[in-house]
Structure 1
Amino acid sequence: MSRASTHPHPAHGIHVPGRSLAALGLVLLAGSLVAWLVGFVRASAVILPYPYDFDYGEGIVWQQMRDIMRGDAYGPLGVLPSIVYHYPPVYHLTTALLAGALGLDELLAGRLVSLLSTLASGLLVAGLSADALGRTASTRTRIVCGALGGLVFLTCMPVMKWAPLMRVDLLACALSLAGLALAVRALERPGLIHLAGLCFVLAVYTKQVSIAAPAAAFIGLLAVAPRLALAGISSTVAMGAVALVGLWVGTGGGFVRHVFLYNANRLDPPRVVHLWLFLSSHVLYVAVALSGIHSVWPQLKTVCRNTRRADRQGLALLVVTAFLALKTLMLPMIMKSGAAENYFTEWCCALAIFIGIALRSIVAQALDTQEEKAAPSPTLTRLLVMVLPLQVWLLPHWSVSQAAADARARDLAPLVAMIQAEDRPVVSDDMTLPLRAGRRVVWEPAIAAELAHSGLYDEAAFVSMIRRRELGFFVTLGRRGDPLFDERYNPPVAAAIDAAYPSKREIGGLTLHLPER
């Protein structure tokens, strides 16, 4: 019987797909992933230099970066200006350093940090997938499985959507994954545990909820190498504490107030629909990842029974499994008011790692490596792998053209001139507009509405300012009665805007609220 035909696996006696079928499936999957990546690169080439926002949060992150570099951040929350600093400063500092070193536009630099972090995260997903497969898989199998897992990560909707934006999430993700990869390798090179701890600290000081990766790493290490784990925990806590004290003292306690007190959003249960939308749109990825878990479960149980004898592969399996479990437990955070798809980013990392693992037997068959210990995929997984290219093409993707971006930029240019000519502050949902006009962001609608609900912001005083027309005008996405507008502008504020700025005008898809002439 030829090796290209279907035959019993020599170690398990279970039929696996023929080599030709496996190879065809992998070629289709790899081709789909690469084609998707080419499309994403083209879209990113349009998004990166675009001068205004592609996401509501970009402008406020840009303003926060400027304030942090001036030393004005994390101050008391006033009526106006009223800026909340949602995150610690690592992303902002990284962006400012890149912009300064290369002479880049600050918005472009922020987007570039996110994009490079996304690509780094894909490489780290590939490395962790290869580590979890271990030396029982051939080098070629590990490389191909890792590469496919990394490419799958890039196609996940939260990753794709946020990768080219000036947001903190992908840098935090890359730092968390770097910490995981270094922690796994620290079993063989103990000195790396302190570098892993530094990555974890930087991740937390990029986005304060980045705790799943260090928790997973130290859970695995405590089981396998307790002394190494305690050394890593000690250095990580020490570095984190030094940074916290420094930021606390340097901001007069404002850092803690902003990133914890002011950033504590209300529970909004209807947002759980985002979880359903994400899972349903990635259902084949989830199914294959579950198969990956199933394929390594016996090995994982063996590692758990003999943790002190675990090698790098055993530790990697423990760590990535713990990471997936912890991120799954954190998924209900999507029900926070203001939460969005970015809350799924790290979960996508774990998902992609196990997809890489699940592809092992098919990759080994396609490459004809004859791995005696390769765990065959269940029948369902083999079928799903053949239709994974369809999953790639069905996933959401950026749909943006250079012509459309240029046209909108031309439409918004007069609005920038209007803001520049206005003596009084202007409030804009697109917060890049006042920044392009050489002004500063003075008020962020969404967080002000949230803090007003919790009694942390004096909305009544702001309403009085509106009625006295102390602001030049408002620029909003939509009008009163539109869900997004009503979410960002509480009824007292919306009523004051309508009373003091009754004239409406549309520019570039935005609504201007102007005083009567």
Structure 2
Amino acid sequence: MSFNQSFYFWVFIVAVFIMLTLAFFPLERAWRCLQYPYGLDYAEGYLAVEAWQLAQGVSMYPNHDNYPYLVGNYPPIYPFVNALMFSVFKPSLFWGRLICAITALGIIILMFCAVYKKHSLLLPSLLAPLLLINTYEFYEWIGYARVDLPSIFFSLAGLFVLLDKKGETNKRRMTFAAVLFLFSIYTKQIQIFAPIAACLYLIIQNRKIGLKFSGALWGGVLLVFALLAVITRGEYFKHTVIYNANRFDWWQVYVWFRHVLRFYFFYMATLFILAASITYESIKNKKKGGAPDLFNLYALIGALSFLTIGKIGAAGNYILETHAAFGIFFGSALSKAIEGFRTGIKQRLSIALILIAALFINLHSLWLFRIQRILFSRPNPGKTAYAKSEMLMKIVSEHPNPILCEQPIFLLLAKKNVIFQPFIMSELAREGKWDQSQFVNDLENQKFSLIITGQNMLQEGFLWQYTDEMRAAIRANYMEYVESGDSLQQASWNAFMRSGIDGIPYYIYIPKKETR
């Protein structure tokens, strides 16, 4: 069987065209979110609060003997960069989202360069980041001011600079990589998979150098940790370790595994076939003294990191790095197959792998095109979101401190105090790590002039954001906010504010003793 040397490009043309076209949607979402001043996610506002605390010279890891009951879930790098902007400009989600958008573009570039640097093949280098861009998770999280994309950027940058084009390293490269890995870990503490891959790779290549690098890297991690713990009088340890050690639920792993198969079945099948081929070749090469590829190790560890999705409170952000690792692995594996075809080494096997990969990735892209409304279904801010948020901003501005609001950006913009973080504090109360009695007592005494949530607090049923005791106190002592004396107008207003269309629903409550 004879093939033109460029046949591999044409067999992927459908996938390239479709995924390049669909890539517009995540980029458009990032642009639209940058222009929206209010919250789109329940956690991004609290990162803005932490940045504001740092800008004011206040610790983002408070003691919980009294208010504020807030948790600094993450290390300080991302809030610190935000704080630099807040020291010049007013509090805003813009800067955090801009950081995430820039690092998302950086991840795309790094994925392309990681494959191209080693293989100098355009097609696999292009497909690698396209497979990440066209995921449900990337589309959702590119719009949020969260730590995930910046931390992944630092991880990939560390892997990228560790080796030169020939796969060799030196002291300068290892030092630079170690610094980038430190940045990744102190942006998000669970961002350890790329550093682990780097350490394993270097140990396999040269045991002495690898152990020295590992000791320096993890020693540096522990040193920074100890310094932060001392500076915060132990609160850094409590907030980032004890308070983050949430329960693990295998049901969540099962749900997300089904999610992956639903969206990426053909892609996962391709990865399995390529991995099986590479594993077979690696076993053969081991006898000849061959060493594993750095990004193959990263993909393997990235696959294992999928299990972190079982942590209570985890969401699609926990598999973003898995997508990035898999994309680079696919690009690298396809490149090796193309090189085998070009050089004539095991040409039949190489052609078979290229054709199978092309078939499955084309099917994958066609499937994504078919389900694009679901793939890109996370709401973007539109007219409804703007109108609701402006109304809510007016209500918040008119009420005195303290106010309980799940979207703290409204409180920051209205210059109100942010004193409670519902989800994490409720989870800590359930786990016995925090005594909720003072907060529940304050609810019973109607301390808060407003309570703004994303759920109906007057209905029965379990909610992650609040304990049963908190909800009981709210139901007994608070009532729905009344905007209009006309019942029909009030019902219409409630329906509008509680709509989840292109934004977050808002349920507003006031103390029962209050009248309008």
Amino acid at match of 2:226: V
Corresponding position of 2:152 = 173
- Of 195, 214, 223, 2:204 maps to 223
Provide the residue aligned with 2:265 in structure 1: 283
Given the alignment of the two structures, is residue 464 of structure 1 paired with residue 441 of structure 2, yes or no?
A: yes
Query: Following the alignment from structure 2 to structure 1, what is the Cα–Cα distance between the partners of residues 85 and 329?
Result: 34
Query: Given the superposition, is the C-alpha separation of residues 430 and 283 from structure 1 closer, same or farther in structure 2, using an over 3 Å criterion?
Result: same
Shift of the 99–124 alpha-carbon distance from structure 1 to 2, 3 Å rule, reads farther
Task: For 1:117 and 1:20, locate their aligned partners in 2 and report how far apart those are by CA, in whole Å.
Answer: 33
C-alpha change, 1:237 and 1:352, in structure 2 (3 Å) is same
C-alpha distance in structure 2 between counterparts of 1:353 and 1:410, whole Å: 42
Which one of 224, 231, 240 corresponds to residue 243 of structure 1? 224
Residues 142-188 of structure 1, C-alpha deviations (whole Å, 9 max, x = no match): x3211210121122222221122111011111111111222233724
**Residue type of the alignment partner of 1:325:** L
Taking the aligned partners of 2:279 and 2:444, their CA distance within structure 1 comes to: 64
1:334-483 map, 5 Å: 334-360=309-335, 370-373=342-345, 375-378=350-353, 380-393=356-369, 394=371, 396-399=374-377, 405-480=382-457
Q: Helix, strand or coil: the match of 1:165?
A: coil
> Which residue in 1 is equivalent to 2:134?
155
TM-score (norm: length of structure 2): 0.86
Question: 1:475 deviation in Å?
Answer: 0.6
Whole-angstrom CA distance in 2 between matches of 1:328 and 1:461: 43
What is residue 143 of structure 2 aligned with on the other side? 164
- The CA distance in 2 between the partners of 1:115 and 1:99, in whole Å, is 18
Displacement of 1:109: 0.8
Distance 1:80 1:99, change over 3 A: closer
Structure-2 residue corresponding to 1:109: 95
Could you say if the C-alpha distance between residues 483 and 192 of structure 1 is closer, same or farther in structure 2, counting changes exceeding 3 Å? farther
Is the contact made by 1:91 and 1:206 (CA closer than 8 Å) also made in structure 2? yes
- The offset of 1:296, in angstroms, is 2.8
Greater relative CO, 1 or 2 (CA 8 Å, sep 6+): 1
What secondary structure sits across from 2:93 in the alignment? Answer: helix
Gapped regions of structure 1 (runs ≥ 5): 1-6, 9-15
Counterpart of 1:332, as a letter, is: L
Whether 1:183 aligns to 2:162 is yes
Alignment partner, residue 305 of structure 2? 330
Contact kept in structure 1, 2:73 and 2:243, CA below 8 Å:
yes
Offset of residue 27 of structure 1: 2.5
TM-score when normalising by structure 1:
0.86
Q: Percent of aligned pairs with the same residue?
A: 22
CA distance in 2, matches of 1:97, 1:372: 56
Please name the residue that 1:320 is paired with.
295
Residue 458 of structure 2 contacts residue 475 of structure 2 at CA under 8 Å; is this kept in 1? no
1:205 aligns with 2:186: yes
CA apart distance, 1:462: 1.0
Return the offset for 1:510. 0.8
* 1:363/1:513 CA distance change after superposition, 3 Å: farther
Equivalent in the alignment of 1:55 = 41
Tell me if the contact between 2:111 and 2:128 (Cα under 8 Å) persists in the aligned partners. Answer: yes
Cα deviation 1:251-294 (Å, max 9, x = unaligned): 11111111001111122333221222123211122112223323
Assess, with a 3 A threshold, how the Cα gap between structure 1 residues 120 and 302 changes in structure 2: closer, same or farther.
farther
Structure 1 residues 194 and 362: CA distance shift in structure 2, 3 A: closer
Counterpart Cα distance in 1 of 2:436 and 2:313 = 19
RMSD of Structure 2 on Structure 1 (CA): 2.7
1:121 pairs, out of 79, 103, 107, with 107
Aligned letter for 1:389? S
Equivalent residue runs for 1:299-310 within 5 Å: 299-307=281-289
User: How much does 1:108 deviate?
Assistant: 0.8
Shift of 1:117: 1.3
Q: What letter corresponds to residue 260 of structure 2 in structure 1? A: F
1:12 is matched with which residue?
Answer: none
Q: Distance in 1 between matches of 2:309 and 2:383?
A: 34
Q: CA deviation at 1:338?
A: 1.1
Deviation at 1:118, TM superposition (A): 1.4
For the residues of structure 2 that align with 1:191 and 1:239, how far apart are their CA atoms? 16
| Mapping 1:253-292, distance limit 5 Å | 253-272=234-253, 273-292=255-274
Structure 1 residue 210 displacement after superposition: 1.1
Question: For each residue in 1:355-411, what CA deviation from the matched residue of structure 2 results, as whole angstroms up to 9, or x when unmatched?
Answer: 21343378679xxx8332463343543421332321432354445788x62432222
- What is the alpha-carbon distance in structure 2 between the residues aligned to residue 302 and residue 484 of structure 1? 57
TM superposition shift of 1:492: 1.0
Aligned residue identity for 2:382: A
Q: Provide the rounded CA distance (Å) in 2 between the counterparts of 1:151 and 1:458.
A: 47
Deviation larger for 425-434 or 199-208:
425-434
Amino acid at match of 1:95: N
Residue 78 (structure 2) aligned to one of 72, 91, 94: 91
CA distance in 2 between partners of 1:118 and 1:148 (Å): 16
Cα offsets for 1:454-502 (capped at 9, x unmatched):
1122212211101111111211112137799722111111111111112
The residue number in structure 2 matching 1:4 is: none
Alignment partner of 1:45 is 2:24 = no
1:412 deviation in Å? Answer: 1.8
Give the conservation status (yes or no) of the 8 Å contact 1:466–1:496.
yes
Q: How many residues align?
A: 484
Which residue number corresponds to residue 297 of structure 1? 279
SS at match of 2:394: helix
Q: Quickly say closer, same or farther: Cα 1:303–1:191, change in 2 above 3 A.
A: farther
Cα distance change, pair 88–20 in 1 and its aligned pair in 2 (3 A): closer
| Cα distance in 1 for residues equivalent to 2:460 and 2:389 | 23
Distance 1:410 1:480, change over 3 A: closer
Q: Is the 8 A contact 1:43 1:400 kept in 2?
A: no
8 Å CA contact 1:424–1:470 kept in 2: the answer is no
Could you tell me how far 1:104 is from its partner in structure 2? 8.1
Q: Distance in 1 between matches of 2:82 and 2:43?
A: 15
Secondary structure in 1 aligned to 2:456? coil
One of 495, 502, 515 as aligned partner of 2:511: 515
- Map of 1:252 onto structure 2: 233
Q: Of residues 435, 439, 464 in structure 2, which corresponds to 1:487?
A: 464
Change (3 A) 1:72 1:190: closer
Contact 2:401 2:417 in 1 (8 A): no
